[in-house]
Amino acid sequence: MSATPAIRYHIQPAHPGAHLFRVRCEVAVPAAEGQLFRLPAWIPGSYMIRDFARHVVVARAAAGGRAVALTKLDKDTWQCAPCAGPLSFEWEVHAWDLSVRGAHLDTTHAYFNGSSVFPAVVGQEHLPCAVTIALPDGEGWKHWRVATSLPRAGALPWSAGDYAAADYEELIDHPVEMGEFLLGEFEACGVPHAVAITGRVRVDLERLCRDLKTVCEHHIRFFGEPAPMARYLFLVTAVGEGYGGLEHRASTSLLCGRDDLPRSGEPGDGYRTFLGLCSHEYFHAWNVKRIRPAAFVPCDLGREAYTRLLWVFEGFTSYYDDLALVRSGLIDEAGYLKMLGETATRVWRGPGRLRQSLAESSFDAWNKFYKPDANTPNAVVSYYTKGALVALALDLALRRASAGARSLDDVMRALWARYGRSADGVPEDGIEPLVAELAGQDFGAFFARHVHGVEDAPLAELLPDVGLRFNLRPAESGSDNGGRPGTRSEPRADLGLRTQVADGELRVSHVLDGGPAQAAGIAAGDVLVALEGLRVQPRGFDRQLDALRPGECVHLHVFRRDELLVFALTLAAAPADTVFISVDGDAADAVVQRRRTWLSGG
């Protein structure tokens, strides 16, 4: 009995200067009623409809050397006229999205996620896929290499050629980078790992590989060996300024500022942030790629997949990403507490945390979190950052309730054992009973208040259990990100707005609820022109505010569109919304030991 013929794909950067990929899909046995082809509307891990099909420039089909009529049925679906196989469906895709989600092509490199270039053969998505990745035509491209975690099916390592996937879902879960890149390789718990870095960078590759090995081995041992992948790849694009990551089953795509990568000498905060990003995406290899919400099993990429559990899959991951750095010795306790304070500051500065619950934030990610607007800080809470704080609170609460016998670590390992290894989806109501089972008591009130309700994570109550104190103070400048004690004796003046520099102008990006700017009528998009008769300096506005005092009445001139307006505002005192976590030097030895146990993973 002959094997089922594979769906065959071929992709080539056909015209790098025009940013065009050429993609061909060959179907041995097309549907008798006319084969349908469909491109996903979104990519797993980024919960927004992105309509990748809008980048398709031209599509055509042929069989037996003759053109086959093609009809577009909707925004991302094409139907071929009935024909005998094999059927060839070909299109060109414009690739100019320099992000971790889509495709980007120019004369320096090529990058793509399969969801943005490979059409699904409707009804045959379960069939194996053969993939040929080709270099651009011409001698000038022969030096390009290929980095992907796709299983090789004849291609040499880091080369163009033939690859394979078990089905369409796997095909689109292995992003591809082509071009000239730095390459570092290492093993973690016996599994081959690599990091490919695209961009003009100077990097201490030996240190980066050593630190990534430490992070990866920590996560593998956290869930238990063996690792769930045969090999793993970090794809890094380094630019002037950038930040982002997207998880895949055996790789991750990362975007970072080139200065965030380590060089000789002691790396700064940017490198710690980058390591936290790598840790975050690697933890996702378990938590969301294999431990998945039931709403994603199977995953319909043609429309939104709603779940109220993103606070678990992203929030818990955001908790463990930095915690892994201190547990593995890559940062010290002081560095971790600083990062924790910065995360809490981002949450406490958002009025939306008191209006939207974590469960609602998860459910509404499709049209709120991923589509921010002028009112986002007032209406939306991040299931990443507040989710991380609730994870911390739940961890400490479990340790308290069980006298140290249970923790959130046990919850994660139970999720892996029950849902990750089996590939069953986590039910929408599956987290709370699991926590109660492990704790030996009901945690319903905790979830009602902090997950389904809008109460802040109870850190001030729980952190003393491990000899830490939760502190709030006013911000001292526009660049004050929290995480450390303040130095000012009195609060600074505050306008109750956020700004951004655009085209050399200082624009209002958000007006916060209850602040002087909102009371006066200032709106997002206004260009700040003058404060108290003095021209606003986009890079020096903080200094202008520092010269004023809370309670003063000031006049602010702004341009709204092409109209000059003037507003009178009574300055407020900067609110106490900046967090730092301090060590209680008087804590008992038993309390200090609890902290050591928590931060060591005991």
CA 531 to mean position of chain CA atoms? 38
Domain of 80: which CATH number? 2.60.40.3650
| Neighbouring C-beta atoms of residue 372, cutoff 10 Å | 13
190 φ/ψ sector (left φ>0, alpha ψ -120 to 50, else beta): left
In DSSP notation, 85-112 reads SPEEEEEEEE-B--SSSSEEE-SSEEEE
CA 425 to mean position of chain CA atoms? 21
Q: How far apart are CA 515 and CA 574, in angstroms?
A: 10
- pLDDT score for 264: 80
Does residue 485 fall inside a structural domain? Answer: no
Of 162, 179, 196, the residue that ends a domain is 179
Does residue 482 fall inside a structural domain? Answer: no
Domain of 251: which CATH number? 3.30.2010
Same domain, 192 and 246: yes
| Neighbouring C-beta atoms of residue 424, cutoff 10 Å | 14
Q: How far apart are CA 518 and CA 524, in angstroms?
A: 10
CA 414 to mean position of chain CA atoms? 24
Same domain, 42 and 148: yes
Nearest C-alpha neighbor of 21 from the set 31, 30, 11: 11
Numbers of helices and strands, H then E, in the chain? 16, 30
Nearest C-alpha neighbor of 578 from the set 454, 460, 494, 485: 485
Same domain, 435 and 508: no
Q: How far apart are CA 423 and CA 413, in angstroms?
A: 14
Does residue 185 fall inside a structural domain? Answer: yes
Does residue 484 fall inside a structural domain? Answer: no
- pLDDT score for 422: 87
302's tokens: 């043609």
Same domain, 104 and 131: yes
Same domain, 250 and 295: no
User: How many Å is the maximal CA-CA distance in the chain?
Assistant: 86
Same domain, 197 and 91: no
* % helix, strand, coil for the chain, step of 5: 30, 30, 40
Does residue 271 fall inside a structural domain? Answer: no
Across the strands, what pairs with 562?
none
Q: How far apart are CA 283 and CA 247, in angstroms?
A: 9
Helix axes 205-223, 269-283, angle to 10 degrees: 40
**Which structural domain range is residue 420 located in?**
286-468+584-602
Same domain, 227 and 344: no
- pLDDT score for 56: 97
The tens digit of pLDDT for each residue in 373-391 reads: 999 999 999 999 999 999 9
Same domain, 200 and 162: no
Mean pLDDT, each 10-residue run in order, the chain (602 residues): 74 97 97 97 96 97 95 97 94 97 97 98 96 95 96 97 97 98 98 97 96 98 97 97 96 96 85 97 98 94 97 98 97 96 97 97 96 95 98 98 97 96 92 96 97 98 98 94 92 94 93 96 96 91 91 96 96 96 97 97 86
For residues 390 and 311, the answer to whether their CB atoms sit within 8 Å is yes
The tens digit of pLDDT for each residue in 522-558 reads: 999 999 999 999 999 888 898 999 899 999 999 999 9
Domain of 505: which CATH number? 2.30.42.10
pTM, entire model: 0.95
* Straight-line distance from the first to the last Cα atom of the chain, in angstroms, rounded to the nearest whole number: 54
- pLDDT score for 265: 74
- pLDDT score for 313: 98
Of 179, 196, 231, the residue that ends a domain is 179
Does residue 2 fall inside a structural domain? Answer: no
Same domain, 167 and 65: yes
Distances from the Cα of 230 to the Cα of 4, 127, 340, angstroms: 25, 21, 33
Distances from the Cα of 228 to the Cα of 187, 420, 461, angstroms: 14, 10, 38
Same domain, 542 and 427: no
For residues 583 and 336, the answer to whether their CB atoms sit within 8 Å is no
Of 179, 213, 234, the residue that ends a domain is 179
For residues 309 and 428, the answer to whether their CB atoms sit within 8 Å is yes
Domain of 335: which CATH number? 1.10.390.10
Does residue 399 fall inside a structural domain? Answer: yes
Three-class secondary structure of residue 153 per DSSP: coil
Long-range contacts formed by 76-80: CB under 8 A, 24+ apart: 76/38, 76/39, 76/40, 76/41, 76/51, 76/52, 76/302, 77/36, 77/37, 77/38, 77/122, 78/36, 78/37, 78/38, 78/119, 79/34, 79/35, 79/36, 79/37, 80/30, 80/34, 80/35, 80/36, 80/37
217: amino acid identity, one letter: E
Same domain, 255 and 336: no
* Count of structural domains, the chain: 4
The secondary structure of residue 466, as a DSSP letter, is G
Same domain, 602 and 453: yes
425: amino acid identity, one letter: G
463: amino acid identity, one letter: L
Does residue 454 fall inside a structural domain? Answer: yes
Instruction: Name every residue whose Cβ is closer than 8 Å to that of residue 66 and which is 6 or more positions away in sequence.
Output: none
- pLDDT score for 85: 81
Rounded to 5 degrees, φ, ψ at 12 are -145, 135
